[in-house]
Chain A
Amino acid sequence: MKKEWPLWEIFIRSKSGLNHKHVGSLHAADAEMALENARDLYTRRNEGVSIWVVESKHITASDPDDSDPLFEPARDKVYRHPTFYTVPDEVSHM
């Protein structure tokens, strides 16, 4: 039985100033190879200026079954959104 390479999650920054965004996953034997594979798989159409790779096993995900206790309480607390202020026209990027 062939031993599979570990899975890596790939994050690409599409241009300077923006956040890295999850784009997908791939197999690689080590971090360097993951970077190179990511370069070939996810940036060949000029999608990025920076790549992060993280081995999938290092990611801890929330359980979908827990979504009510985790997220429901925030749903009716609209006052946490800063939507009650009037933003002056001169202020951009809000």
Chain B
Amino acid sequence: MTKYLLQLADNALILGHRLGEWCGHAPEMELDMALTNIALDLTGQARSLYQRVAELEGLGKDEDDYAYLRDAWEFRNVLLVEQPNGDFAYTIVRQFIFDAYNYYLHRALTQSKDEWLAGFAAKSLKEITYHLRFSSEWMLRLGDGTEVSHAKLQAAIENLWNYTGELTKPNEVEQALTVQGICPNLTQLKTEIEAKMTEVLAAANVTAPVGAWMQSGGKDGSHSEHLGFILAEMQFLQRAYPGLEW
């Protein structure tokens, strides 16, 4: 159970960190606020999940221990969320793919047999619904915008598509929890998620690569080189000055 919660928490933390990197760098001041707002939602979700893991483990840890004192192979986030921000179109595609997955996942998790998780999902779903709305609309704007924005969006889709497979391919942790009714059947969820993606991609006038080879491993701790750099930045202070507060 804690392994699964860490998967959810790490997705939120790492993507939140990536979005936070836009702070002060977004194309418009308004977008700076929008992206960091989403980052804060995600960081808040990660925090609740880490606190729950700490409670279940009962080892006297707190949320910071999980965020700052684990190494890359202990992180269970999907590879998609650790991908670099790239340009704005790249960030939007990464966000849209994740939001589409995250929305249907959390909607299904509200029916989880684990009462805490169902409650957490219901609360987070409101935030995630807005994230999906934000990223979907930007998909349309960029896809339907100028020739340049369309080309950038299409390029981002082609570059990131390899990371979509992992989202709906259950690992052992998820398979075991599906049997217990705690986590939804990802194979079933896949149909809904793909329908949403197809709908938005068609409206944005872009196409997904067919038969792309899919990367995986993030959920079980095999990460791309990017995660190490994220952790180096995120964890530096706690590693160099353990227990530092401000």
Q: Which residues of A contact B (CB under 8 A)?
A: 5, 26-30, 32-33, 36-37, 39-41, 44
Contacts and interface: CB of A to CB of B under 8 A. Distances in A.
A36 B28 contact: no
Contacts, number: 28
B51 to A, nearest CB: 23
Interface in B103-124: none
A29 B33 contact: no
Contacts of B141: 29-30, 33
B34 A40 contact: yes
Interface string B1-43: 0000000000000000000000000001110011001000000
A37 B137 contact: no
Contacts of A41: 30, 33
Given A29-B141, A32-B137, A33-B137, A40 B33 contact: yes
A37 B37 CA distance: 11
Nearest to B140: A32
By secondary structure, the B interface counts as helix
A30 B141 CA distance: 10
A26 B30 contact: yes
Interface string B132-155: 011001000100000000000000
A40 B137 contact: no
B37 A44 contact: yes
Contact of B30 (A28, A30, A32, A44): A28
A28 B28 CA distance: 9
A27 B32 CA distance: 12
Contact of B34 (A29, A32, A36): A36
A36 B133 CA distance: 9
Contacts of B37: 40, 44
Contacts of B130: 39
* B30, B33, B34 interface centre (most CB from chain A within 10 Å): B30
Contact of B137 (A26, A36, A39, A44): A36
Interface string B31-62: 00110010000000000000000000000000
Contacts of A44: 33, 37
